[in-house]
Amino acid sequence: MHNLIPTDITQAITPAGFTVACDGVYYDKSRITATPTIALARGRDFASESWTLLVAHLNPDGIWKTHQIPFISWLNQREYVSQLANGGLIIAPGSQGIFASYLVQCAALDDLPIVRIMDRLGLFSHPGANGEERLGFLLPGITLYPNASEAEQVGPILFQPKITTPAHKAYEQAGTLEEWKAHIAGMKGNTGLVLACVASLGAPFLNAAGIDNFGLNLYGPSSTGKTLALQGFASVWGCGSDPQYGAGRAGLIERWNSTANGMEAMMAAYNGMGMAIDELGSNVEAAISIYNCVGGQGKFRMTETGEARKQHKWSTLVLSSGEIGMAERIQEVEQRTAKTGELIRMLDVPVGELPIRDNLSADERRTHAEALKQNLGKCYGSAGPAFAQEMLTAFQTKKTLEQHFADDVKHYHELLLADLAEKGFTLTPATKRALRRFGFLCGVGLTAIALDILPLTNDEFVMALTDTVEAWLTNMPRESDEETVLEGLRDFVLRYRSQIISTDAPAGQPRRANMPRRGLLHRGLLLLDEVGMREACGNTPINQAAKVIRSHGMLRTEARDKLTYRVTIASMNITKGRFYAIDYGRLMGANQAETEVAA
C-alpha cells in the first residue's frame, strides 16, 4: 500500500478547505494534526461490499503507517481515531470532529482511486462478463489471471491481511524455475522431499478440491531429511532457507514454540496457502488442539464488553516436523490416547521409514542434501506461481476447476483404495476418508509433472506417494468399534459445523426458525434428529451407536430405557422435540468444545 503514497505529499488529493503539508493537515489556516495524513484509495471486496478508506500518516519517527478505516466505523469515531493514534498520529485538541470530517470527505472524492481489497492469499474467484466466476490467484506484489486482459478488467488488488507476519515478505522469487527443478532433481529419490513439494503446490487448492484442512507430520530422529522437506515445501512459493541459519531473514518456515492463541494467529496469517512448522514438541503450552489447528477457525471469545470477538479463520495444509509423532506427543503431554479424528487430520508419517530410491552412497546423499539445503535458500518462489498460472490458464472458471478436482480426487482415491485392499491393508471408515487427501495429492502431483513443474516421472512420483501412504497406515493405531462410532460423530461435527446451529449464540446472531437437517447445539448438548444421527453413525445402526455413546457417559436421556431426550427451545419454535442429546464437550474435548460451531 506504500506505493500509493505520493512523492510530494502536498500534491495529495484533499477535500475543499483542507490542505496537507509536511507538518500536518490544515483546515483553512488551523493545523488539526501534527503530521501529514492522506487518503490513498477507497477499497471494497468483489461483492462491492465492505467498503473501506485506505489512509496513511507519518508518525513522529518519520515512518509512514497505513490503516484501513471501514466506512461503517464512521458511526464510531472513537474506534478509528484510536487506531490512528496508536500508530503515532497526533490530533490537535478539540480537532477530532474536524479530522473525522476530513476523512469522510476524502472518501467521497471522485478523484480518489478505487481498489479491490483481499485479506487472504491464494486462489480466488471474481465475477466475469458472462456471470461466471472467473479465477485469480493473489500473492504479495502480484496477481495472476487466466489471461492478461483480466487484470485491467478487475483493477488493482491490495493484499491487506487481518493478521500480519514477516513471512508475507518471504513470498518472493529468486532464481528461475529451471534452476529450482535442477536442484530438486538431484534429490528426487527422497520421498519426504517429493511429498512436501506436492503438498505445497496443492495447499492453495484445498477448497476448490472440496478437501478439509489437514496436516502431514513428518517425524523421526535427526538427519532423516525433515528440515530438507520443510525447505522444499517453503521453496515452492518463497524463501526456503533453513531457519537455523536464516536468523533475521523472512522465511516461510515457522516454529511450534507458540501458545494456542499464538498458533491460531499464525494459522490465520497463512490463510489460503500452505504452512510449514518445525520442531513439534517445542510449543510453549503443553498441548495444542489438532482440531483447532486444522479445523479452520479459532476459539469463540468475548470482548471485555461482552461482545463476540471476530474469530480467526483459515484454510491451509500444514507440513509439520518433529522427532516424535503427533500421537506420541498427545500421549506424552495429555496422558491420553490420541483420538482417531486427530490422527486422520494430522497424518503421522515416519520419515525415517520412507525408502530413499536413488543410486547414491550415504556420503553422496549427505553431500547432495547439504547442497540442496543451501540452494533452497538462494533459489525459490518460482514453482508455485508457475503451477498456479498453468491451472488458471487451463481451467479459467471456478466451476471448471472444481469439476477437475472432483474427478481427480474420486479417481485417485478409488485407485488407492483398490491398491491397498489388494495388498491386504484393513481400512476403517476413518482411514478411507483420510485417503481422499492422498487422492488429492496424487492428482496434484501428476498434474504438476504433466505441466513440467516437477522434475519427476509419473512412476517415480506414484512410488513416493505409495511409500508414504503405506508408512502412514502401518503406523496408524488400530481403531476399536467404539472409537469408530465416536470418531464418526466427531467427523460429522467438523464436516458440517456450518449447518449445526448454536441456540446459545450471542444476541444479534441470526438463528433459523426451523430445525436444520444436521443438528443443534443447545446448552452444551449436540442435538441430532434421526436423519442426522443416521448420517453421523454411518454403517453402525442408530440404537447400537446410541448405546456406545451412553456407555461413555455422553448421552443424555429421559430414562434408562430411553435413548432420546425431549427438548423445548422457544427461540427455534421447538416444543418437546425428541433428539439424540450428546454431551458436546466430552465428545469433542475441552479445547474444541470452546470453539464456536455455528457459522
Q: What is the DSSP letter of 128?
A: -
- Beta pairing class for 122-127 and 133-139: antiparallel
Range 524-537 average pLDDT: 91
341 vs 326: CA distance, rounded Å: 12
Cross-strand partners of 127 = 133
Question: Looking at the predicted structure, is the pLDDT value of residue 311 above 70?
Answer: no
Q: Where are the domains of the chain?
A: 2-116, 167-301+311-475, 481-597
Q: What is the DSSP letter of 203?
A: G
Confidence grade of residue 243 (pLDDT, cut at 50, 70, 90): confident
Query: pLDDT tens digit string along 415-426?
Result: 999 999 999 998
| Residue 327 burial (C-beta neighbours within 10 Å; 0-12, 13-18, 19+) | buried
Q: What is the DSSP string of 43-82?
A: EE-TTS-S-EEEEEEE-TTS-EEEEEEEGGGGG-HHHHHH
Longest dimension (CA), the chain: 85
The residue to which cell 511409500 is assigned:
467
518 vs 529: CA distance, rounded Å: 8
C-alpha cell at 363: 556420503
Q: What is the DSSP letter of 221?
A: S
pLDDT of amino acid 317: 95
37 vs 50: CA distance, rounded Å: 22
Closest CA to 5 of 113, 83, 90, 108: 113
36 vs 38: CA distance, rounded Å: 7
Confidence grade of residue 464 (pLDDT, cut at 50, 70, 90): very high
pLDDT of amino acid 19: 94
pLDDT of amino acid 44: 93
The residue to which cell 483447532 is assigned:
292
Question: Looking at the predicted structure, is the pLDDT value of residue 516 above 80?
Answer: no
Give CB contacts under 8 A, 24+ apart, made by 59-68: 59/35, 59/87, 59/88, 59/89, 60/34, 60/35, 60/88, 60/90, 61/88, 63/88, 64/2, 64/5, 65/89, 66/1, 66/2, 66/40, 68/43, 68/117, 68/160
Find all residues with CB under 8 Å of 92, minimum gap 6, and list them.
Answer: 30, 31, 32, 33, 34
Confidence grade of residue 596 (pLDDT, cut at 50, 70, 90): very low
515 vs 343: CA distance, rounded Å: 32
520 vs 497: CA distance, rounded Å: 10
Handedness of CA 248, 252, 254, 260 (dihedral sign): positive
Q: What is the DSSP letter of 348?
A: E
Q: Which of the two residues, 203 and 266, has the higher pLDDT score?
A: 203
Confidence grade of residue 292 (pLDDT, cut at 50, 70, 90): low
Q: Interior CA angle at 416 toward 414 and 418, to 5°?
A: 70
pLDDT of amino acid 504: 65
- Beta pairing class for 157-159 and 114-118: parallel
The residue to which cell 519427476 is assigned:
456
> Is residue 378 within 8 Å of residue 174, measured between CB atoms?
yes
pLDDT of amino acid 306: 45
177 vs 165: CA distance, rounded Å: 26
What's the start-to-end Cα distance of the chain, in Å? 31
> Is residue 349 within 8 Å of residue 218, measured between CB atoms?
yes
pLDDT of amino acid 591: 41
43 vs 67: CA distance, rounded Å: 12
pLDDT of amino acid 260: 66
Q: What is the DSSP letter of 251?
A: -
| Mean per-residue pLDDT over the chain, rounded | 86
C-alpha cell at 284: 510453549
482 vs 484: CA distance, rounded Å: 5
pLDDT of amino acid 597: 39
Confidence grade of residue 336 (pLDDT, cut at 50, 70, 90): confident
